[in-house]
Copies of this chain bind each other. A is one copy, B any other.
């Protein structure tokens, strides 16, 4: 087998050195009834070419975003990723390195994480950020747990317009920690009223901006209301490109900002691996209660600047059952992709990219609003918005898929049994005029 360097001769010699007669002798601790005497019932080894062909066959059964006019969002967005990003994350020294527990031979990973943390903190308007989480939804759930630890309270209020997968992941994680989760009903196209839920038991309110329907809102009043009751405001951003154009959650008073970083560097990847962003205020208590890894600056024995993983006494491998979370993996390689893409963009590029996204969405919204049978539900938005159709959105989307157009996410797929005619559409810099033409024409046909 091409990945196994031992030759039959090697094996014989090694068994001799070990002093056993056969490989079976090394497996004698396995209960006899559980020892398999031959391979399990699965195909035998395959050549590279065979494996490539099997995967190509599966790949051909999917309609990829690049092949179709594409308007699907709802928490994952198609953006163009520079070729440099994918090249760099395939560097052996990045791709095949482990967690940088040995800092002397991991400065590459550590410095990029430190740079990543700084970029995330600045972009979200916060003071500190960690070295990434699994994804946006788990970052959101962990933020609620952290808020509960920080405030020592046991209630979390979730906006109804928070991505339902995020709400579900949060509720699931909170459930057995005895954190009570309250949720307002969803309200496409407007900001739900969360202030009324805040009381003295409230650890945090969680609000997504732009929300899952694409609507944007000012969080300032909400932050003030929360703070007045001693609660924290957790802001969720699933389209991180929006922060190139919009006031940051930090500036609006958020205490913790979590986000899905997939838009930069990562690609669609059918849902994962993505990269969760996690940032918070500069408060010792906050930092000591953060989940996930942190890279920090220090000096080496010669006094030269260097970086290490730090504050690991929060973490499971040191604190075990007292840890702030059980996490022992970040999304390092995706964080690298994110930080490379962000370094290429810089402030100038990100701002321009955000503006292009916004403009494409405006153009799309105006075009669709002009179609009979389409009503624009979201009047303030970034690059995603919701329309109400005269037919069930699921049928419309399927009919458009048959025409080779990937038109968006029916709201009812996220909220089963609700919003049957609502369709959530995203536009990005990757959409051409031709894409807009195609959608407009096809939509007219199927409505």
Contact = CB atoms under 8 A, between A and B. Distances in A.
A49 B90 contact: no
A299 to B, nearest CB: 29
B48 A83 contact: yes
Contact of A82 (B48, B80, B91, B430): B48
A429 B87 contact: no
Contacts of A90: 87, 90
Contacts of A47: 80
Interface in A79-94: 80, 82-83, 87, 90-92
A49 B87 contact: no
A265 to B, nearest CB: 14
A87 B83 CA distance: 15
A80 B429 contact: no
B83 A49 contact: no
Nearest to A87: B90
Contact of A49 (B92, B344, B430): B430
Interface in A17-65: 47-49
Interface residues of A, number: 14
A48 B92 CA distance: 25
Nearest to A56: B66
A82 B344 CA distance: 32
A183 to B, nearest CB: 39
A57 to B, nearest CB: 12
Contacts of A429: 49
A79 to B, nearest CB: 10
Given A87-B90, A90-B87, A80 B430 contact: no
A48 B80 contact: yes
Contacts of A83: 48
Contacts of A430: 49
Nearest to A432: B53
Specify which of A49, A83, A91, A430 lies most central, judged by the most chain B CB atoms within 10 Å of its CB.
A49
A175 B80 CA distance: 52
Nearest to A47: B80
Nearest to A79: B49
A142 to B, nearest CB: 35
A87 B96 CA distance: 13
Interface string A419-432: 00000000001100
In this complex, the member of A48, A429, A430 whose beta carbon has the largest number of chain B beta carbons within 10 angstroms is: A48
Contacts of A344: 2
A92 B430 CA distance: 29
11 contacts: A2-B344, A47-B80, A48-B80, A48-B82, A48-B83, A49-B80, A49-B429, A49-B430, A87-B90, A90-B90, A91-B92
Given A48-B80, A49-B429, A90-B90, 8 more contacts: A2-B344, A47-B80, A48-B82, A48-B83, A49-B80, A49-B430, A87-B90, A91-B92
